[in-house]
Structure 1
């Protein structure tokens, strides 16, 4: 008996008909019939009985089918292990964050990880942005990056990094020489945010909403560069993470202002389902993410 005979028998049983088995194995009907006769000749007995245009396993066929399942599963597992030994682990990680600003740093980190683990497919699920924990629970993503954890025994949180949010203003703005701003300072301001809903915007969530303060105007602008140009022209203000704003401060046309006397700091977490078993490459990815972020920005 050869592996092709075992695959043939398994396909006929599981597909339920010769026609479907032919499609699955990419054989012609004559080739399939020839292989089946060959297998029965080698065994010295029939494997199938034809009843009402259906193929029914004989007692010998049932025994062979059980062996085919066991052998083919073992062979598939062995091939996978050998590929992992030779080429590294294979798999997919679906990831999303709670805000679009994270996508400024995430792709570069994913690219570096892919160089080490080329057979792990890293997918950023954009439609899960703003609701990563909900999508994690719905199995739309495998890993969520969030700074707003919820109490749920089914979700496990791993520390990723802490950053500080700063207000960005033009050098001509009234805040340019302020040491820090408070919620009331926003009442007459035009606040630029990356996207709606407002409840997911850090400055609103942690400063403005608790103080029941609304800026004079709020404009969502998905492109950071466009928002920066608006701020430079003194047409609005925006909040950015300290690490993210550094490249934009080189030409001295912008100033950063602390939010609140003690600053507005956010702790970011990696969230996973606590009741789910993850392959080893997930652990490698999480360790890599923690190390890479801390090295890149010295957070």
Structure 2
């Protein structure tokens, strides 16, 4: 049985990503014949088929699927380790890679990143706005160093800290029939166009905590990618939206939108920062969490 090498894992990933030998070979800077030879040699050494051919595409066997899962877990960690070591060799601290699981979190994050960059001039910040990606998987896989999320999943090896308390509210335009009311009930939205970010309904609090428990759905649901366009639509009477109160307040004076409580008790939420527990003592990572906590204590 041959020992697995990084090149083997890279081949498995490249073939899976592209599905064809030609494209995979280009990514790996190999000729197609060289890649074909490497694949045959790998399967011979392992004593098991890794791929089956379906037309022009290669599909992983059960063994191949397992090896692919190993490659997807290890390659990002090795790449990150190499980058960190290069940074250490150059006298740099490194890069803080932040993943975000919610659209409004980005507006909040900017308020923390600005003073952080001023306090840590030798640390770069990279933000990944992959709103539907698995943040937990990205943390475990070392693809990111810190996760910003309103919905933490507590797992062994990870730790989360709440850094902002906020209320989820309904936002309506200045001439909307509900403008000025203290709170709204689910049935009052049955004839409304609900504008939201393009994420699944099961990740939208206005559905999971407000509408669906009451058996209500809006007349129409319109996904919009950006906050600015969303609130322009709301201000012009094209629909309503559910957003954090602090974000709605930032637009209230400029666009005339109004924030209304969802139900008599409202919907309370928090933004959490998640990190790998083993890295909690890293100075520049710990400093970001501390700065976010201090920002929370000063009103967010």
Matched, 1:147 2:150: yes
Measure, in 1, the Cα distance between the counterparts of 2:222 and 2:248: 19
Match of 1:212 in 2: 215
- Select 2:268's aligned residue among 265, 268, 273: 265
Which residue is 2:94 aligned to? 91
Q: TM-score, normalised by structure 2?
A: 0.65
Change in CA separation of 1:93 and 1:209 when aligned onto 2, cut-off 3 Å:
farther
Distance 1:209 1:93, change over 3 A: farther
Determine the structure 2 residue equivalent to 1:231.
234
How far off is 1:168 after superposition?
Answer: 0.9
Q: Deviations over 1:92-115 (max 9, x none)?
A: 211122211211121342122111
Per the alignment, residue 182 of structure 1 pairs with 185
Where does structure 2 lack aligned partners over 5 or more consecutive residues? 1-84
Counterpart CA distance in 2 for 1:158 and 1:131 is 18
* Contact 2:158 2:276 (8 Å CA) reproduced: yes
> With structure 1 as the length reference, what TM-score do the two structures score?
0.65
Secondary structure class of the residue paired with 2:130: helix
Quote the Cα distance in structure 1 between the aligned partners of 2:290 and 2:89. Answer: 23
**CA gap 1:120/1:226 in 2 versus in 1, 3 angstroms:** same
Instruction: State the shift of 1:163 in Å.
Output: 0.4
Question: For structure 1, which runs of at least 5 residues remain unmatched after alignment?
Answer: 1-76, 84-88
Q: Distance in 1 between matches of 2:255 and 2:226?
A: 21
Partner residue, 1:288: 291
CA shift, 1:266, in A, is 0.1
Contact 1:167 1:240 in 2 (8 A): yes
Q: Secondary structure at the match of 1:105?
A: helix
In the alignment, is the contact (CA less than 8 A) between 2:235 and 2:255 conserved in 1? Answer: no
